[in-house]
Amino acid sequence: MSLSAKRILLVISGGIAAYKSLDLIRRLRERGATVRPVMTRAAQEFVTPLAVGALSASHVYTDLFSREDEQDVGHIRLARECDLIVVAPATADLMAKAANGLADDLASAVLLARSRPVLMAPAMNPMMWSNPATRRNVVLLKEDGVTFVGPAEGEMAEAGERGVGRMAEPLDIVAALEALLDAGPKPLAGRTAIVTSGPTHEPIDPVRYIANRSSGRQGHAIAAALAKLGADVTLVSGPVTIPDPQGIRTIHVEQAEQMRDAVLSQLPSDIAVMVAAVADWRVTTSAGQKIKKTPGEAPAPLQLTENPDILRTVGHHEKRPTIVVGFAAETQDIEQNGRIKLEKKGADLIVANDVSPETGVMGGTRNRVKLITESGVEEWPELDKDEVAERLANWIAEHLNQGAVR
């Protein structure tokens, strides 16, 4: 367990993102951590101490003036009897108190009395996050040694509002916590990995292109998961709108041929995970100017050329990685098509999934996959793409270190 025996003091402050703290508790405990929760009065308006206590299997601390909890100066004890303090969500109000040394409730008193590392996961409206007062407080907190994860960009609780202010997802907080404690196992230390992600864009003319509906979320998550296990990862990404994973070397490309060249430039490598949804074809000759339509006339037919098969090239390369993993995005006969791909591409593992429109996998945040090897098929339940990435990285580490896949 990556956080086994670690004592986490979780401070939950008042915001709509407080509901995510329940999942965060589960993530921490399943990794072996002990979670001791502190809730502000405002936090209790969003989630109940009963729910927090049930998930954490711990007493929930809420009151600075509790006769029971403070008979032995409880807020000092809480600040010391932990390995790390996590504030999630961290509201603008609590951050302001912590930055300026205020201590008028239990949460702020604990933060003032701290002697352990602090990780904050801010969550607030984008205007509040960008307000000069908040920005000043963030600077002060960082100067005091506080580490931040997020906030992320996305939809807000307020209807129709979008921007930077969403609390980081629980798994992102766990990853940041592990990095801060350096508690995660490193079974891939000293290993190198290449991961491809996202779509490719094959130009028809300067404004049109052929592409697949890939968001890059799964590939980016796998790159991050491999890096968390200690691998030296190079991510080759097609055009996506999501940020590069932190601390990972990323090569940005547009077309399939560019992606192939970038991948081959990174060989030899121990691991290759080809997740990208590469366009199968490209226009033989793309137009130098925008193709104009003529009313009443059909467009000229497009002459297509097959793109390079990057997975097959890597699977049969003279510098073939020890483990080659491919993805099979299918809409029918998932297992059968995955087995065919396994044989033809020279892969050790095919991760097959159903990308039919009704599944929401393409562009979504969840995935349901089957792991296909020569020895059989392993089906995983529907999971968050970060969870798929984490499980797959562990699978790769286990089989790489055993020296056998097939």
- Work out the angle at residue 223's Cα, subtended by the Cα atoms of residues 218 and 229, and round it to the nearest 5 degrees: 125
345 is in an annotated binding site: yes
According to the 3-state scheme, what is the secondary structure of 40-77?
CCCHHHCCCHHHHHHHHCCCCECCCCCCCCCCCCHHHH
**195, burial (CB in 10 Å: exposed 0-12, middle 13-18, buried 19+):** buried
Distant-in-sequence contacts of 161-166, Cβ < 8 A, 24+ apart? 161/125, 161/126, 162/126, 163/125, 163/126, 163/127, 163/129, 164/126, 164/129, 164/130, 165/122, 165/123, 165/124, 165/125, 165/126, 165/128, 165/129, 166/17, 166/123
Residue 134 one-letter amino acid: T
Instruction: Find out whether the peptide bond into 132 is cis, omega within 30 degrees of 0.
Output: no
Residues in the chain: 406
Residue 210 one-letter amino acid: I
Sequence-ordered alpha helix ranges (H) in 271-345: 310-315, 334-345
Are the beta carbons of 182 and 257 closer than 8 angstroms? no
Alpha-carbon distances of 362 from 64, 237, 352, 401, rounded to whole Å:
48, 16, 13, 32
65 is in an annotated binding site: no
Pull the structure tokens for residue 252.
Answer: 């940005």
**309, burial (CB in 10 Å: exposed 0-12, middle 13-18, buried 19+):** middle
Residue 101 one-letter amino acid: G
Which residue is it, tokens 């609780």?
157
Q: Is 137 a catalytic residue?
A: no
308 is in an annotated binding site: yes
245 is in an annotated binding site: no
310 is in an annotated binding site: yes
Are the beta carbons of 117 and 84 closer than 8 angstroms? yes
* 131, 212, 337, 394: the active-site residue: 212
Pull the structure tokens for residue 263.
Answer: 């991948």
Gap between the Cα atoms of 183 and 238, Å rounded? 32
344 is in an annotated binding site: no
104 is in an annotated binding site: no
With CA atoms as reference, report the closest residue to 400 among 178, 190, 183, 228.
190
Q: In DSSP terms, which residues pair with 8 in a beta bridge?
A: 35, 84
341 is in an annotated binding site: yes
327 is in an annotated binding site: yes
Active site residues: 212
| Known binding-site positions for CTP | 280, 290, 308-311, 327, 341, 345
| Known binding-site positions | 280, 290, 308-311, 327, 341, 345
